[in-house]
Structures are given as structure tokens and as C-alpha cells.
Amino acid sequence: MSEVALSCRSVRKSFVTGNGPVLALDNLNVDLLADTFTAIVGPSGCGKSTLLHIIAGLDSDYLGELEWHTDNSRIGYLFQQPRLLPWMNIAQNVAFVLEPRGHSRSEATETAMQYLKLVGLEGFEQSYPTQLSGGMQQRAAMARALAMEPEVMLMDEPLGSLDELTARRMRAELLRLFEDRPRTVLFITHNVTEAAFLADQVIVMSGRPGRVTAQIPVDLPKPRDYDDPRIAAIAHEIVRNLHLDE
Ligand code: ADP
Ligand code: MG
């Protein structure tokens, strides 16, 4: 059993809007295990991105406690949108986050090339973001987040904009990457099969205000087969816990 890397206790978050307060998260309790891949699945608008913002330290306006038991000074964050800098080519977009971390320019470029290759963008290093499709931009953003080799990696629906064939390849790469070098990962997805395929544990959230309705371990050996009936069975269990018919 892995150690707890982060405990979220009784997290409650409301937004003030023109139509009054919106309660996004209410009494949310989550444990992230160290060096473990945790997927979060929940209906749209249930507060998943809000939770990621809070964990990343981008939003401190909430109630409840976050207790870190691991080094959280290096958190990688992959947003739903790629957020690349348009005036840099994609190799520069990846390399520029490495130089302030003590890499020389040539080391940073070499590392950038490795990670761009990993996400299938070999040959596009000199392209600018606007010259690439949305899915390619998202893969470049993933290379940038992975290249920082953060201890804690937060990923917000990173494969949602990819075509299914590319997404399958990326899922297999991610599984292999985190198997080779385990990290504490929190991965949001609305794809239940993707969650079952990638994760060591799946957290299912209710509709807004988001709470945890189930925590499902995935004890299948890796590498995994996306079409394995055991993955489908876990995906089915996730769906049952989403209570879509209520
Ligand atoms: P999810 O990522 O699960 O789709 P979000 O965390 O983005 O959901 O949003 C949860 C709820 O909080 C939604 O009802 C959304 O409209 C609301 N919300 C999110 N951000 C803001 C904001 N900045 N201001 C007001 N309401 C917000
Ligand atoms: Mg979201």
C-alpha cells in the first residue's frame, strides 16, 4: 500500500456569481497516494477543474484542509487548453520551462526533443503552435509538462481533444512512462475506459456540488490492453457509481 501524498479534507468551494453563489465542491475528501496514478471521473460541471486548481495552489479561496506529505514544490499542471506561447516554436515552448530549472540551453533543447518524440511530434519541433492541429498542440503541452519531471502531475482532460487513434497511442505511452518512473498523478477524464486503463485507483464524483461517491482500485497488471474485458468491467463499475439515471 502506497503512502498518502496529499489528503484533501472537507474541501468546500463556492463561487460568487451574478446569480448568487454557486457551490462547486462540498465536503470533498480525497487521498492521493504517492507514486500512484489516480483518475477522477465525474459529470461535467461537478468541480473537477476547480479541485485541480485548489490542489495546484492556483486558488486559495476555499474551506477545508489540504495536507501534503510529499514534496509539492514541483507540481506539473496540464490544463484543458494547451496554453502554448504563440511566438515560440514548440521545441522552444518545451525548452524554456527547463532553463530556469538549471538546464543549460543545449540540455534543455535535447530534453525537449526527447519528450516531443515521446508524444509523437518528431519532425514538428520547429513548427509554431498555430501551424499545428489542436490535438498536436495539446501533445506539445503534455511534452512540456512531462519534461519538467514533476513529482506531482495534475492533468485536466489532456486527451479529450485528440482523435481516438492518437488518444490510444498517448494512453499507452502514458501508462509506460509512469510505469517506468512512477509519480503521483491526478488525471481528470470523462472517459471511463480511459480511467480504468490508466489508473491505479479511480475516484468517482457526484454532480455539483462535487463529492466523492466511490473510490475504485484497479489492480490489473501493466502493460494493459485497452480492449481487455477486465478494463471494460471496471469501466462499467465506474458508470454504475456515476448514478447517471438519478
Ligand atoms: P468540471 O471541471 O467538473 O467540468 P468546474 O470545476 O470547471 O467543473 O466547475 C464547477 C462548477 O463551478 C460549475 O458549475 C462552474 O460553472 C462553476 N465555476 C467554475 N469556475 C467558476 C468561476 N470562475 N466563476 C463562477 N463559477 C465557476
Ligand atoms: Mg473541467
Question: Domain-by-domain residue ranges, the chain?
Answer: 4-73+151-242, 86-148
Q: 15 CB less than 6 Å from ligand 1?
A: yes
Q: Can you name the CATH fold of 4-73+151-242?
A: Rossmann fold (3.40.50)
- Note the pLDDT tens digit of each residue in 2-39: 899 999 999 999 999 999 999 999 999 999 999 999 99
Residue nearest to atom 25 of ligand 1 (CA): 15
Is the Cα torsion angle 116, 193, 205, 66 positive or negative in sign?
Answer: negative
| The predicted structure's pLDDT at residue 128 | 98
| The predicted structure's pLDDT at residue 103 | 83
| The predicted structure's pLDDT at residue 1 | 60
Residue nearest to atom 4 of ligand 1 (CA): 45
| The predicted structure's pLDDT at residue 101 | 80
What percent of the chain has pLDDT above 90? 78
Question: Residue 234 class from Cβ within 10 Å (0-12 exposed, 13-18 middle, 19+ buried)?
Answer: buried
- Note the pLDDT tens digit of each residue in 121-131: 999 999 999 99
Q: 22 CB less than 6 Å from ligand 1?
A: yes
- Note the pLDDT tens digit of each residue in 151-210: 999 999 999 888 999 899 889 989 998 998 899 999 999 999 999 999 999 999 988 888
| The predicted structure's pLDDT at residue 162 | 87
| Mean pLDDT to the nearest integer, 35-48 | 94
What pLDDT band is residue 104 in, cutting at 50, 70 and 90? Answer: confident
From the alpha carbon of 44, which atom of ligand 1 is closest?
A: 4
Contact by Cβ (8 Å): 187, 3: no
Ligand 1 centroid distance, CA of 206 (Å): 14
**Cα 136 → chain centroid:** 17
Residue 87 neighbours by CB under 8 Å, 6+ apart: 128
| Neighbouring residues of the ion ligand 2, judged by CB less than 5 Å | 49
Question: Residue 210 class from Cβ within 10 Å (0-12 exposed, 13-18 middle, 19+ buried)?
Answer: buried
- Please, what is the average pLDDT of the chain? 93
**Cα 225 → chain centroid:** 21
pLDDT at residue 246 above 70? Answer: no
Q: 24 CB less than 6 Å from ligand 1?
A: yes
Taking the whole predicted model, whether its pTM rises above 0.95 is answered as: no
| The predicted structure's pLDDT at residue 73 | 87
What pLDDT band is residue 132 in, cutting at 50, 70 and 90? Answer: very high
| The predicted structure's pLDDT at residue 136 | 92
Q: Which strands make up the sheet holding 184-188, listed edge to edge? A: 75-78, 152-156, 184-188, 37-41, 201-205, 212-217
- Note the pLDDT tens digit of each residue in 201-237: 999 998 888 889 999 999 999 999 999 999 999 999 9
| The predicted structure's pLDDT at residue 80 | 84
